[in-house]
């Protein structure tokens, strides 16, 4: 799609560099090396976790090497082929099945089954399933999350927040109250940002079926959701968020305090607090044909199949994703919600300055999640779809096309990419 609908992030390649004693000079044994891939977001806070690991394993040091988030899908295979990929890898969730099929990462079932300390029931709902593919566990979840709606309480003023069972219709009616027009443009919006997938899934729609072999973009619930996405930005009767044209150079209006509410995840809580937004949350609203069920997101961490120190790599993965030390530090600094449920629900996380007052709503939303299916050709198929979404949503394409009018053509084009 010509216009990207997601924010650009970046990632960090972290290397555990051994503190080699000079074996040939002093007769001491050289220590092994390890490396880890993660992203730069909240790196300053990540350092506290790295320091804790180095204290527990003083023979290792962590070194950070940047890698761009957008080029992740090209960079990781290139590094793998060139033998420079770290031993431990942060995985963009949509690439986990690809790297599993291509042998970039290894299943870790044998490690967790042999680990007498490991108890998978300690994780939040669906967390291990989120890190699995084709019946095998390929990673552990460092953090976990779901998208909810955040409200700027200062903009909302005396207007009450919606009930937990609110609907798309409620969202439009609420959003209209906060639209502020100045001339031909708007200085404030009801809805600041929305992921189109939220609408599809909250309406009971689907994108793919049968293990990614069948496109379902012509599913009536999906088609209705895509049209509603366009209407929220373009239909005068429904518009509560910026159009594609108005979004140019605008950034996220919610972060800029120019919108009453927007979709966020736990990874955004720190950012909201830092920019001074007084906020609270509610579940994402349900579509007319759905129940507001949302997909689970998170940060899986796996092991490079070419690593010559897989045992050490597993210890690092386990430390980051399972140890009370690392998970508690993550909770303290609210890098994102810890994946260990007892720590996520503890006062360490729920009473931080970053956590919203209604944090219990976030836990309830986590219980109402599903695992979004990912597969090898997914990104190529979605790229084809986004060309059609551009026609539905973006006026720069000319006259807007209704989703129902191109649903079959769109689905056939996506299906051709899967074949």
pLDDT at 37 (0 to 100): 44
pLDDT at 398 (0 to 100): 75
Beta bridge partners of 252: none
pLDDT at 247 (0 to 100): 81
pLDDT at 44 (0 to 100): 64
Write down the architecture of domain 148-295+377-418 according to CATH.
Answer: 3-Layer(aba) Sandwich (3.40)
Q: CA-CA distance, 23 to 17, in Å (whole number)?
A: 16
pLDDT at 36 (0 to 100): 52
Q: CA-CA distance, 289 to 308, in Å (whole number)?
A: 51
CB 141 within 8 A of CB 321: yes
Residue with tokens 């993965």: 317
Q: Output the pTM of the full model.
A: 0.87
The full set of domain ranges for the chain reads 10-144+297-370, 148-295+377-418
Cα dihedral 87, 91, 96, 100, rounded to 10, equals -10
CB 303 within 8 A of CB 105: yes
Intrachain domains 10-144+297-370 and 148-295+377-418 with the same fold: yes
SS3 content of the chain, % helix, strand, coil (to 5): 40, 20, 40
CATH 3.40.190.10 corresponds to the domain 10-144+297-370: yes
Phi and psi based region of residue 10 (left: phi greater than 0; alpha: psi -120 to 50; beta: remaining):
beta
Burial of 351 (0-12, 13-18, 19+ CB in 10 A): exposed
Q: CA-CA distance, 261 to 6, in Å (whole number)?
A: 17
Cα dihedral 351, 354, 359, 361, rounded to 10, equals 180
pLDDT at 305 (0 to 100): 96
Residue with tokens 């619930």: 221
For residue 66, how many other CB atoms are within 10 A of its CB? 11
Name the strands in the sheet holding 180-182, side by side, starting at the edge strand that comes first in the sequence: 180-182, 185-191, 259-264, 148-152, 279-282
pLDDT at 4 (0 to 100): 31
Low-confidence stretches of the chain (pLDDT < 70) are 1-45, 63-67, 397
Q: CA-CA distance, 228 to 175, in Å (whole number)?
A: 14
How distant, in Å, are the alpha carbons of 144, 145, 213, 327, 328 from that of 347? 18, 18, 44, 13, 10
Q: CA-CA distance, 5 to 279, in Å (whole number)?
A: 24
Burial 100-134 (b: 16+ CB within 10 A, else e): beeebbbbbeebbeeeeeeeeebbbbbbbebbbbe
DSSP string over 20-83: ---HHHHSPPPPP-EEEEE-STTHHHHHHHHHHHHHHSTTEEEEEEEEESTTHHHHHHHHHHHT
């Amino acid at each position: 799609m010509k216009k990207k609908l997601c924010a650009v992030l970046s990632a960090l390649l972290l290397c555990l560099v051994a503190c080699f004693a000079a074996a040939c000079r002093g007769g001491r044994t050289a220590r092994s090396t390890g490396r880890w891939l993660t992203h730069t977001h909240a790196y300053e806070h990540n350092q506290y976790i790295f320091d804790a690991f180095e204290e527990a394993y003083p023979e290792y040091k962590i070194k950070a090497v940047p890698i761009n988030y957008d080029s992740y899908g090209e960079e990781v295979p290139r590094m793998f082929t060139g033998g420079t990929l770290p031993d431990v890898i942060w995985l963009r969730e949509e690439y986990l099945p690809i790297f599993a099929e291509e042998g970039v990462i290894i299943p870790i079932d044998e490690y967790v089954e042999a680990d007498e300390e490991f108890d998978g029931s300690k994780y939040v709902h669906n967390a291990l399933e989120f890190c699995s593919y084709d019946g095998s566990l390929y990673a552990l979840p460092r953090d976990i999350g779901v998208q909810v709606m955040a409200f700027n309480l200062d903009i909302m003023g005396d207007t009450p927040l919606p009930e937990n069972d609110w609907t798309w219709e409620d969202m439009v009616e609420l959003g209209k109250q906060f639209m502020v027009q100045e001339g031909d443009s708007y200085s404030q919006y009801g809805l600041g940002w929305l992921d189109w997938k939220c609408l599809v899934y909250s309406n009971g729609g689907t994108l793919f079926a049968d293990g990614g072999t069948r496109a379902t973009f012509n599913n009536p619930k999906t088609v209705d959701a895509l049209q509603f996405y366009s209407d929220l930005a373009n239909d005068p009767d429904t518009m509560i968020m910026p159009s594609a044209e108005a979004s140019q150079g605008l950034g996220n209006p919610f972060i800029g305090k120019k919108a009453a509410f927007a979709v966020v995840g736990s990874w955004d809580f720190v950012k909201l607090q830092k920019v001074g937004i007084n906020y609270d949350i509610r579940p994402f609203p349900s579509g007319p044909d759905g129940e507001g069920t949302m997909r689970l997101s998170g940060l899986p961490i796996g092991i490079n199949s070419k690593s010559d120190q897989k045992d050490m790599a597993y210890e690092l993965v386990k430390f980051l994703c399972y140890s009370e030390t690392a998970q508690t530090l993550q909770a303290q600094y609210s890098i994102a919600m810890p994946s260990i449920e007892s720590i996520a629900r503890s006062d360490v996380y729920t009473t931080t300055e970053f956590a919203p007052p209604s944090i219990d709503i976030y836990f309830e939303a986590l219980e109402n999640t599903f695992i979004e299916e990912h597969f090898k050709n997914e990104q190529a198929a979605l790229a084809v779809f986004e060309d059609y979404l551009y026609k539905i949503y973006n006026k720069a394409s000319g006259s807007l096309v209704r989703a129902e009018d191109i649903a079959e053509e769109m689905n056939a084009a996506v299906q051709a990419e899967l074949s």
